[in-house]
Structure 1
């Protein structure tokens, strides 16, 4: 019984560590992408650094930032909200 309990604990710890690493890598990849915003003329411009140059305020139907998909050549929504510039 003790061996089974130890094995289950080892699996649980390994699974938790793997999940933490995968989440961290995903967040870093999202931060590394260049974020764009849609201007009033409909063109896309570089937004800058989140929480330094801009923040995304809550907005029910708006899109705060976009990322460029080089495979299709289009801009895809990245974050929901309304962009507010800090600088």
Structure 2
């Protein structure tokens, strides 16, 4: 019985360590520089959210994008329409 208890304890510790590593391995996209897709098809820096722009809710479009350096493409970050404040 004591061996079974030790096995479960080791499994619990290993599971908690792997879960903590899996949840913290990727930075959220909002912490990365944000870009917007212009009408000419190019991506440009969006600025600071809440100061330069806000994202208004929209179901079918993307407000901002971030640059995925591993694959060298822009990926959607926030859904909505971009509204310029300045």
Larger Rg: 2
Structure 1 distance, partners of 2:30, 2:52, is: 14
Question: 2:74 maps to what in 1?
Answer: 75
Moved over 3 A (4+): none
Question: 1:53 maps to what in 2?
Answer: 52
TM norm structure 1: 0.66
Question: 1:65 maps to what in 2?
Answer: 64
Give deviations 1:26-50, integer Å, cap 9, x for gaps: 888x443100000001100000000
Residue 86 (structure 1) shift: 0.2
Give deviations 1:28-85, integer Å, cap 9, x for gaps: 8x44310000000110000000000000001110000000001101000000000001
How many residues are paired up?
86
Uncovered stretches (5+) of structure 1, i.e. residues with no partner: 1-25
Which structure dedicates a bigger proportion of its chain to helix?
1
Uncovered stretches (5+) of structure 2, i.e. residues with no partner: 1-25
